[in-house]
Amino acid sequence: MGIEDERTRKELIFNEEQLLKNSIRNDAGKIAELLEDNCTEFTASGKQNRYRPGELFGNVDGESYIDSNTVRLVDLSENCKLLLYVAAKVNKNTRMKSNCSSIWKKIDGKWKMVFHQGTNCSE
């Protein structure tokens, strides 16, 4: 992986981690910086969400994090990347893992998420 690819990988992981924080999830301006208008998400429960500017995501119970050992960056084009990883959510005495995939597109010099899917998986 070249230096530019590694820089992009780190930036996209950072962006994903931001979206796991309640402080970001409840700030419409911060969400708008990270998501493209009409970003689509397929949730673990099978629900489809389409982001609209100004919407908030709300709080997430517990702590979520990305398992850095699982991250893969797939080059779809110069300005479009697929980020694959396993996320874990810990809440009280339970831990749940999800296989996640996000498509990020560089728009006006900034990476913005255009698609996300999370699928629950076993430990």
Task: Between 4 and 86, name the one with better pLDDT.
Answer: 86
Distance (Å, whole) CA 91 – CA 52: 28
* pTM (predicted TM-score): 0.91
pLDDT tens-place string over residues 96-110: 899 999 999 999 999
Binning pLDDT at 50, 70 and 90, where does residue 31 land?
Answer: very high
Domains plus CATH for the chain? 3-121 (3.10.450.50)
pLDDT band at 1 (very low <50, low <70, confident <90, very high): low
Question: Higher-confidence residue: 45 or 22?
Answer: 22
- Dihedral sign (CA 6, 12, 15, 17): negative
- At residue 87, the pLDDT reads 94
Backbone angles phi, psi at 24, to 5 degrees: -80, -45
Phi/psi at 114 (5° precision): -115, -20
Q: What is the pLDDT of residues 49-74, one digit of tens each?
A: 999 999 988 888 888 899 999 999 99
What is the Cα Rg of the chain in Å?
Answer: 14
